[in-house]
A and B are shown apart, each in its own frame.
Chain A
Amino acid sequence: MTDLPSTIVEAGEWLRSRRLSSLELTQAQLDNAAAAQDTLAAFITIAHDSALAAARQADQERASGIDRGPLHGIPIGVKDIIATVDAPTTANSRVMDPAWGDGHDATVMTKLRAAGAIMLGKLGLNEYAIGFPDPDTGFRIPKNPWDLERFPGGSSSGTGAAVAGGLILGGLGTDTGGSIRGPSSFCGITGIKATFGLVSKEGCVPLGYSLDNIGPMTHTVRDCALMLQAMAGFDPADPCSVNRPVANMLAGLDGNLTGVRIGVPREYFFDVPELDPEVRQAVLDAIDGMAVEGATLVDISIPHAAIARHAQRVIMFGEAYAYHEPDLQAHPELYGKYTRQNIRQGAFFSAADYVQAQRVRSIIKAETIQALSEVDVLVTPTMLSTAPTFAGYDFESMMKQPTFTGIWNLTGSPAISICCGFSKAGLPIGMQLVGKAFDEPTMFKVGDAYQAITDWHLAVPQPGARKEVQLV
């Protein structure tokens, strides 16, 4: 095997044209995943046998004329906090009950398997989707393929590393405050947190019940749209699931930005002093580039954006603490130190604090709806900076920093991170598109059109890193 497809769309074409079988693709990706464990450490479990069995079945189905669609025969990775029938779920924690999720597929996995996707393995993460890179948990720490000394972002670290490192074409992450979009930004890939309630979170270990999302991470917007199409839909097993028809996620992918109205919230999102000037400039350049292609720029404001992070944290830590309280009381030593300290903060918020955060949430949601009434999407930086080094990663300073992602978990808005350039040091920079609730197709349209006029998303890690991860 000397050549592999670089996107899900391309893989689908190769499979349909018999240029490649699902078995060949899956075997190659299994080999790459295993070979990269000592460098990228993206996987917690590689589901070798079940993946090959599923690939053989996909090939047999295709040979007999069954076509399950664009994901048929495509291997994907799954953040190891989502239940899958063919591998245990660890949440990257010694606290996790080994029997949790045993023999069960989360609803999203049931849907993806029905669409023909193959579960290649379970991907590393920050413990319980809230810790920080921490050897105390006993699991290997995923590395950033662009620089192995750097954090791939969290908490969906393994998914970011595996997609960027070419080990998988798409994978699942989860996002409570930016855990899909952060790794997507740091790793130079595309990742979406859809509208809250569009994708069932049944079968996912909760972090913040009212903020959690499962979403796809891929190289391209189009691939994200394909995966989300298969994942979306009402699920009575998730009380947050919204019962409404699922839109055609591909409907707007015409590569055309003419007439698109892009909202630019300059206040806070572009003027906080912690924002890296290189990131700021790259995102502004991307916005200007879209304007050249016909988009209209509109300055908008979300007046209380700066306190959204406080409301998001109170809600997230409060909800997480309620889930973890018995384990924090009985055996706190089993948690990694960052996870333990993070979640324990929830004990220090009162019930009134939680409700107050939910009231502020209502206000910021209304402000967001107002802002989006004037435009089709908003554009912001995804992260304050490019990927930090592990050595320079400061747990305590994180709680004091602004963020641009958690606000959209608060409002429930769909938000996608797309690579929009590279720093002078060669590290990816992400911009974030934010759409109206349940209007993912418009967000995909804008993102896809941006990727049609740029090639940032096609960049692969530098030869040194590629050699180290032994990519085919």
Chain B
Amino acid sequence: MIIQPFTPADKLAVDTILGLAQLPVADDEYERLLRNYPILRSQVAALRIPEARYALPADIYSALENA
């Protein structure tokens, strides 16, 4: 997995998400978020595997009470 440094688009995404979620962040933690955001996205990208294209998610829902 190749981790890219954060880009202006990453910064925009981080700022947008923090703003929408109303999450206050200290300066040092903001820097860390920027640094780690590309890692998070690369890990999520690794989940987009062909085998999962038509797989059913593991969520379980039943209409029965306590099923």
Q: Which residues of A contact B (CB under 8 A)?
A: 210, 236, 239, 241, 243, 304, 307, 310-311, 313-314, 325, 328-329, 332, 337, 340-341, 344-345, 347-349, 353, 355-363, 365, 396, 399-400
Q: In the complex the two chains form, is B29's CB within 8 Å of A340's CB?
A: yes
Determine which of B32, B57, B66 lies in contact with A359 in the assembled complex, contact meaning CB atoms within 8 Å: B57
Q: Check: B40 CB closer than 8 A to any chain A CB.
A: yes
Q: In the complex the two chains form, is A358's CB within 8 Å of B23's CB?
A: no
Contacts of B18 in A (CB 8 A): 347
Q: Which residues of B contact A (CB under 8 A)?
A: 14, 17-18, 21-25, 29, 32-33, 36-37, 39-40, 43-44, 46-49, 51-52, 55-59, 66
Q: In the complex the two chains form, is B47's CB within 8 Å of A310's CB?
A: yes
Residue of A nearest to B37 (CB): A348
Determine which of B17, B29, B47, B51 lies in contact with A314 in the assembled complex, contact meaning CB atoms within 8 Å: B47
Q: In the complex the two chains form, is A347's CB within 8 Å of B49's CB?
A: no
Contacts of A241 in B (CB 8 A): 66
Determine which of B24, B33, B47 lies in contact with A356 in the assembled complex, contact meaning CB atoms within 8 Å: B47
Q: In the complex the two chains form, is B32's CB within 8 Å of A396's CB?
A: yes
Q: In the complex the two chains form, is B29's CB within 8 Å of A341's CB?
A: yes
Majority-rule SS of A interface residues: helix
Residue of B nearest to A355 (CB): B57
Contacts of B21 in A (CB 8 A): 325, 329, 347
Closest CB of chain B to A410's CB: distance in Å? 8
Contacts of B55 in A (CB 8 A): 359-360, 362-363
Residue of B nearest to A313 (CB): B43
Contacts of A357 in B (CB 8 A): 44, 47
In the complex the two chains form, what is the Cα distance from A347 to B46 in whole Å? 18
Closest CB of chain B to A389's CB: distance in Å? 22
Among B22, B39, B43, B49: residue with most chain A CB under 10 A: B43
Determine which of A239, A337, A348 lies in contact with B40 in the assembled complex, contact meaning CB atoms within 8 Å: A348
In the complex the two chains form, what is the Cα distance from A322 to B43 in whole Å? 20
Q: In the complex the two chains form, is A310's CB within 8 Å of B17's CB?
A: no
12 more A-B contacts (CB under 8 A) besides A332-B25, A400-B39? A307-B47, A311-B47, A328-B23, A348-B17, A348-B37, A348-B40, A355-B57, A356-B44, A358-B58, A362-B56, A362-B57, A363-B51
Q: In the complex the two chains form, is A337's CB within 8 Å of B43's CB?
A: no
Contacts of B25 in A (CB 8 A): 332, 344
Closest CB of chain A to B21's CB: distance in Å? 5
Q: In the complex the two chains form, is B66's CB within 8 Å of A360's CB?
A: no
23 A-B pairs whose Cβ atoms sit less than 8 Å apart in the complex: A241-B66, A311-B47, A313-B43, A329-B22, A329-B24, A332-B24, A340-B29, A341-B32, A341-B33, A345-B36, A347-B17, A348-B17, A348-B33, A348-B40, A349-B40, A357-B44, A358-B57, A359-B57, A362-B52, A362-B57, A362-B58, A396-B36, A399-B36
Contact of A349 with B23 at beta-carbon distance under 8 Å, contacts A361-B57, A363-B55 already known: no
Contacts of B51 in A (CB 8 A): 304, 363
In the complex the two chains form, what is the Cα distance from A349 to B40 in whole Å? 8
Contacts of B24 in A (CB 8 A): 329, 332
Closest CB of chain B to A44's CB: distance in Å? 27
Contact of A310 with B23 at beta-carbon distance under 8 Å, contacts A347-B17, A348-B37, A363-B51 already known: no
Q: In the complex the two chains form, is B57's CB within 8 Å of A353's CB?
A: no
Contacts of A340 in B (CB 8 A): 29
In the complex the two chains form, what is the Cα distance from A52 to B18 in whole Å? 50
Residue of B nearest to A349 (CB): B44
Contacts of B40 in A (CB 8 A): 345, 348-349
In the complex the two chains form, what is the Cα distance from A332 to B56 in whole Å? 36
Contacts of A359 in B (CB 8 A): 52, 55-58
Top 9 nearest A-B pairs (CB, nearest first) are A358-B57, A361-B58, A310-B43, A359-B55, A359-B52, A236-B66, A358-B58, A347-B21, A362-B58
In the complex the two chains form, what is the Cα distance from A89 to B32 in whole Å? 31
Contact of A360 with B39 at beta-carbon distance under 8 Å, contacts A329-B22, A341-B32 already known: no
Closest CB of chain A to B36's CB: distance in Å? 7
In the complex the two chains form, what is the Cα distance from A348 to B48 in whole Å? 17
In the complex the two chains form, what is the Cα distance from A241 to B67 in whole Å? 8
Contact of A360 with B44 at beta-carbon distance under 8 Å, contacts A325-B21, A347-B21, A400-B39 already known: no
In the complex the two chains form, what is the Cα distance from A360 to B56 in whole Å? 9
In the complex the two chains form, what is the Cα distance from A347 to B51 in whole Å? 26
Contacts of B33 in A (CB 8 A): 341, 344, 348
Contact of A304 with B58 at beta-carbon distance under 8 Å, contacts A332-B24, A353-B44 already known: no
Closest CB of chain B to A5's CB: distance in Å? 40
Closest CB of chain A to B62's CB: distance in Å? 9
Closest CB of chain B to A319's CB: distance in Å? 11
